[in-house]
Structure 1
Amino acid sequence: MNLFSSRILIMLVFACFLSSCAFQPIRRTKDITFVEANSSEEIPMEQLNVFSPKKSENLPVMVFFYGGSWESGRKEIYDFLGSRMARKEVVTVIVDYPLSPEYQIESMVEVAAKAVVWTKKNIQQYGGDPNQIFVSGHSAGGHLASLLATKDEYFEESGYSNPIKGAILIDPAGLDMHWFLSDYPKEGRKYLKTFTEDPAIWKEFSPIYFLEDQEIPMLILEGERTYPSIQESIKRFKKKAEEEDAKIVYKFYEHKKHIPMITQFLWTGGKAYEDVLQFIENESSEFKNATSF
């Protein structure tokens, strides 16, 4: 377990205490297998957890991918996020995905896309609206979410159009891995087990290069004291998005470091929930208005 996951687990202990202070009853449906092991596709069996209000119908949905440098993490650590979002009337899916060094980025994104497809097909039975699916993630998970929002091919290969309504990127890493691994080979060496040593792969899995004709809106939350590489990649991503006229909503969090950007969701009354829920409400309202005629 790396330092990232260790710190998250420490916060989880406190989260479990806070979770006892429930107001709205919710359903927690855990360990749902959404993809079976497939040696030909080089992917393992993976599962997800669903959190929803006990009495719900046609609510917006958030599919969340955790961070951990693409090499660590597990869905149970984020029960607090699923529970809190469900109490705020957002059906939430917390997803496990393959991790390095056993698996590389292509398998991770493939499984992440399968999680969204599963959600599209099944979430209505948990009270979610399959037409209002948002993807989200922190750090490496934000990278996966941004790829799903910018590259329709992951869904087209499965015979689906992109079902994502919006993306919520929480201090996302990897928005331009080609730049980072090219310009900072020493610092980036540890990520080669995920992204390989092939610059073509670095570019293929850098969402900044796929913003042309981008229609899915994205909310980016950035911490003031996050890692310099994340600061620079977000800056580059925003600039490219402006050039391509892509819809980006940007929120800046003073004094926040990288890990506190996700652990702040332990407290339900903070700015993070306000920003995320406002983004979901705005995009959901646009959908409902567009389909009400």
Structure 2
Amino acid sequence: MIDRRSFIVTSLAALLPAGASAAGRPDQPEPQTRDYGPAKLDIYAAGGANNLPVVFFAHGGAWRFGKRSQVGAKPGFLLANGFVFVSIDYRMLPQADVATQASDVEKAYAYVRANIARHGGDPNRIVGMGHSAGCHLVALTGMRGGLPGVAGLILDDTRAYDLAALSRDGGMVRAYARAFSDPAQWTALSPASYVDGRKHPPTFIAYSRAPGRGEESQAFAKRLRAAGTKVTLFDGSAYTHMSINRDFGQDGDALTAAALAFLKATVA
């Protein structure tokens, strides 16, 4: 019997160019670090890069942990496939609340859009990407218009799309309860609050088998589609919450193949 993940890998393997294999992938490139104000970001670009599409990445860590260097194979894989890659830091709890973190993401994006051309990136072809807490922040800022001109979004595994619904469903577990302790802020900090009545870029939503991820992601995708947004929904139930991020860029990874197809259709 072929399991779901094996089937997806086999079906999508053809989307990965030969140069994207582990054996053919270049060594992890060294980034150029820049200070964008509240924190720093790393820019990964191949030598001679010129007017290439850009992936702008926000790491996870429960809004409290993590750092921009935790990127795994993403930079090498994306550079090998014709992209510039940017990974950002943002200030953390308890020093900075989630609203401040979202503002940091928007400031980092504004810096990248204003400066990425000198690193070989195209400021009009930036795709926002995030995992876990970073997924929530990219979804929130992207939905509310805080990433002007963003060409697409890759949202990788969060439950924090609609905080009021999450609370009603019993999903406000410790990490979420600590990050979103004030119910008066739930509407403003929920990406779903900004779906209706706005035009949104094409959005790729992935979810793992972690509790509640599938239900919340599917509900958010349904709402976006009802508003006229083009949505690609990836069933990552073969992954854990950590592996759905860690495996990105690895040879033969199903999510990587699906996300690359989305990127090429959106900005290539």
Q: TM-score range by the shorter chain?
A: 0.7 to 0.9
Match of 2:114 in 1: 121
Cα deviation, residue 97, structure 1: 0.7
Q: Which runs of 5+ in 2 are unaligned?
A: 1-21
Give the aligned residue type for 1:253.
G
Q: Which runs of 5+ in 1 are unaligned?
A: 1-19, 36-44, 156-161, 286-293
Which runs of structure 2 are paired with 1:183-198 in the superposition (5 Å)? 183-184=169-170, 187-197=172-182
- 210, 215, 220: which one pairs with 1:232? 215
Give the aligned residue type for 1:33.
D
Which runs of structure 2 are paired with 1:95-110 in the superposition (5 Å)? 95-110=88-103
CA contact (8 A) 1:24 1:53 kept: no
Question: Hey, which bits of structure 1, 4+ residues long, moved more than 6 A?
Answer: none
- The change in CA–CA distance for 1:235 and 1:116 in structure 2 (over 3 A counts) is same
Q: Distance in 2 between matches of 1:57 and 1:26?
A: 20
CA contact (8 A) 1:101 1:193 kept: no
Match of 2:10 in 1: none
- The change in CA–CA distance for 1:23 and 1:81 in structure 2 (over 3 A counts) is closer
Match of 2:34 in 1: 32
CA contact (8 A) 1:137 1:143 kept: yes
Q: Normalising to structure 2: TM-score of the pair?
A: 0.84
Cα deviation, residue 273, structure 1: 2.1
Cα deviation, residue 259, structure 1: 0.8
- Mapped pair 1:206 → 2:190: yes
Which runs of structure 2 are paired with 1:234-253 in the superposition (5 Å)? 234-253=217-236
Match of 1:52 in 2: 45
Match of 1:66 in 2: 59
Give the aligned residue type for 1:195.
F
Which runs of structure 2 are paired with 1:252-291 in the superposition (5 Å)? 252-285=235-268
Cα deviation, residue 58, structure 1: 0.9
- 149, 155, 158: which one pairs with 1:163? 149
Q: Distance in 1 between matches of 2:108 and 2:100?
A: 12
1:114-156 CA distances to partner (integer Å, 9 max, x unpaired)? 111111011111111110000001111111111122111x36x
Q: CA RMSD in A?
A: 2.2
Cα deviation, residue 189, structure 1: 4.7
Q: Normalising to structure 1: TM-score of the pair?
A: 0.77
Greater RCO, 1 or 2 (C-alpha within 8 Å, sep 6+): 2
- How many residues align? The count is 246
Q: Which moved more, 1:209-218 or 1:77-86?
A: 77-86
Give the aligned residue type for 1:188.
V
Q: Distance in 1 between matches of 2:85 and 2:194?
A: 27
Give the aligned residue type for 2:261.
Q
Match of 2:13 in 1: none
Q: Quick check: which one's helix share is greater?
A: 1
Cα deviation, residue 57, structure 1: 0.8
